[in-house]
A = this chain, B = another copy of it.
Amino acid sequence: MLEKVSQVVLLKDFYGPLLTAKQQDVLHMHYEDDWSLSEIASNMNTTRQAVYDLVKRAEGILQEYEDKLGLVTKFQLTRRNLDELRIILAGPEVDNPRLVQAVSLIDEIAELL
C-alpha cells in the first residue's frame, strides 16, 4: 500500500497540473493527507462510490500520461545517476574547491528534477 501511495504521489508531482482542480484535491486528500474515501465523501457532500470513481479515474489519467511521456521513470533513473555521481565525487579530496562547486551544481540539478 505504501508503495502504491508513493507511486501515485510521484505521478501527481509530475502530471498533477494536467488534472482538474477537483481531481487534484481528492488525490491530495486521500494520498497526502490520508483521508479515507468516506471522509472525503462526507466532506464533499457526495457518496463514497463517487469519490472512489473520481480517484480511480484520476489515477488512470496520470498513468496514461506516464505511459506516453515516462517522466517518473526518467526522474528515478536520473536521480539514481545523480546520487552515484555525488558518491564518486565525495572522497579523499572532498574539500577541493572544484569538487565542492561540482557537488553544489549536482544539488541544483537534483532540485530541478
Residues of A within 8 A of B (CB): 14-15, 17-18, 65, 68-69, 71, 74, 77-78, 81-82, 84-85, 88-89, 91, 98, 101-102, 105-106, 108-109, 112-113
Closest to A109 in B: B81
Partner of A82, one of B77, B84, B109: B109
Q: Are B98 and A85 in contact (CB under 8 A)?
A: no
Chain A at the B interface: SS class: helix
Q: Are B74 and A102 in contact (CB under 8 A)?
A: no
Given A18-B65, A85-B109, A88-B101, 8 other A-B contacts at CB below 8 A? Answer: A14-B69, A18-B68, A18-B69, A74-B112, A74-B113, A81-B105, A85-B106, A89-B98
Q: Are A88 and B112 in contact (CB under 8 A)?
A: no
Q: Which residues of B contact A109 (CB under 8 A)?
A: 78, 81-82, 85, 109
Q: Which residues of B contact A85 (CB under 8 A)?
A: 102, 105-106, 109
Q: Which residues of B contact A84 (CB under 8 A)?
A: 105
